[in-house]
């Protein structure tokens, strides 16, 4: 698997620094995308010690409108089924869709690269195009980090301070071979989280389900993005690159990184929108005895359009989740 890594992409994945790609995209000659936005798919994989394979349990799309500066984070549930596929992938399956849980598609594509056209980073490319198709939002880049990579990235950038609304008690599986299972208690109030504690906070589902976890993850990313110190990142750029060089899989080229870090400082994260597709407002039904949700491409794409076209009050009135669901807002 081809890997390119740098401080900004590590930061992009964990802190939504993807929104810093204000004037860049993956299109020819580096010209901005035709839809006026720059967008990245952020994925967190569950690969780590005592685990087999990799499932993308965290999938978020970070996007910024280059003209208005409006920024958004869209959370895509891991347990969607019958997700519609774009061509040429759709023709590979009778239903024209990915029938299994969406978080299993990355590993399937990586394990069957020839089926999807071959090349490098097949899993990332397939996930990017599939979620692009679902949201009807052009996605320029993807970035993926696994469990040990998450810890290394967060520690490399100094951790994050955030307000914890409810105490969390988490028994966390090891992130590294040298680790054992460890109990974490994260109190209410302002807390500084290092890599392992941050992983415990964003991974736990003990007292809640997938969708509550997704909310914590979006809040965590927003908190970290607001704290990003651009001058410190630039000053420590070589050291951070060395520390996390194998932590992130991405299709962003290394030469764009220093400029992207500087562009991060131009984004107003105080107006960051967060929206998770975690209710019947975005589904067309259920499948199987576990009643997994079937996503509605039409309803999801309408919500994406509304975030960028309407005001915050209109979005909140329609979906009830924006923009003040996070403690850091």
Which pair of structure tokens corresponds to residue 136? 């009807």
**What is the mean predicted confidence (pLDDT) over 123-137?**
96
Using one digit for the tens of pLDDT, what is the confidence trace for 258-300? 655 555 555 665 666 778 898 888 999 999 888 899 999 999 9
| Average pLDDT across the chain, whole number | 74
Segment 236-265, tens digit of pLDDT: 656 666 666 666 777 876 666 665 555 555
Tell me the average pLDDT across 177-188. Answer: 83
- Is the pLDDT higher at 329 or at 132? 132
Structural domains in the chain? 7-147+218-319 (3.30.420.590), 158-208 (no CATH)
pLDDT, residue 27, reads: 32
Give the number of C-alpha atoms closer than 13 A to the C-alpha of residue 285, restricted to the C-beta side. Answer: 4
Q: What's the pLDDT tens digit per position in 81-120?
A: 999 999 999 999 999 999 999 999 999 999 999 999 998 8
Neighbour tally for 101: CB within 10 Å:
18
- Residues 90 and 178: their CA atoms lie apart, in Å, by 42
- pTM listed for this prediction: 0.74
CB distance 294 to 53 below 8 Å:
no
As beta bridge partners, residue 193 has: 160
Mean pLDDT calculated for residue range 180-203: 86
- Using left for φ > 0, alpha for ψ between -120 and 50, and beta otherwise, residue 185 falls in beta
């Amino acid at each position: 698997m081809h890997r390119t890594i740098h401080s900004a992409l590590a930061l992009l994945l964990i802190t939504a620094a993807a929104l810093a790609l204000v004037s860049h995209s993956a299109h020819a000659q580096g010209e901005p995308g035709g839809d006026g936005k720059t967008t990245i798919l952020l994925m967190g994989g569950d690969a780590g010690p005592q685990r087999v394979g990799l499932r993308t349990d965290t999938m978020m799309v970070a996007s910024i409108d280059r003209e208005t500066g409006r920024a958004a984070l869209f959370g895509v549930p891991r347990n969607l089924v019958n997700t519609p596929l774009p061509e040429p992938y759709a023709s590979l399956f009778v239903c024209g869709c990915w029938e299994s849980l969406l978080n299993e598609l990355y590993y399937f594509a990586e394990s069957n690269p020839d089926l999807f056209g071959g090349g490098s980073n097949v899993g990332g490319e397939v996930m990017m195009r599939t979620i692009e198709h679902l949201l009807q939002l052009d996605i320029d880049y993807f970035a993926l980090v696994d469990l040990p990579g998450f810890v290394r990235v967060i520690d490399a950038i100094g951790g994050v301070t955030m307000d914890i609304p409810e105490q969390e008690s988490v028994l966390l599986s090891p992130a590294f071979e040298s680790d054992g299972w460890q109990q974490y208690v994260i109190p209410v109030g302002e807390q500084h989280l290092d890599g392992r504690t941050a992983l415990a906070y964003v991974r736990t589902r003990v007292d809640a389900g997938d969708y509550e976890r997704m909310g914590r993850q979006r809040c965590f990313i927003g908190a970290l993005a607001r704290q990003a110190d651009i001058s410190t990142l630039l000053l420590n750029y070589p050291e951070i690159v060395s520390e996390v060089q194998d932590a992130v899989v991405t299709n962003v080229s290394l030469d764009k990184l220093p400029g992207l870090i500087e562009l991060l400082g131009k984004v107003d994260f105080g107006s960051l929108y967060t929206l998770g597709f975690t209710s019947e407002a975005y589904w067309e039904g259920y499948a199987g005895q576990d009643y997994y949700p079937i996503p509605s491409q039409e309803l999801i794409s309408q919500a994406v359009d509304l975030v960028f076209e309407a005001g915050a009050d209109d979005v909140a009135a329609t979906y009830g989740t924006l923009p003040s669901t996070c403690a850091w807002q």
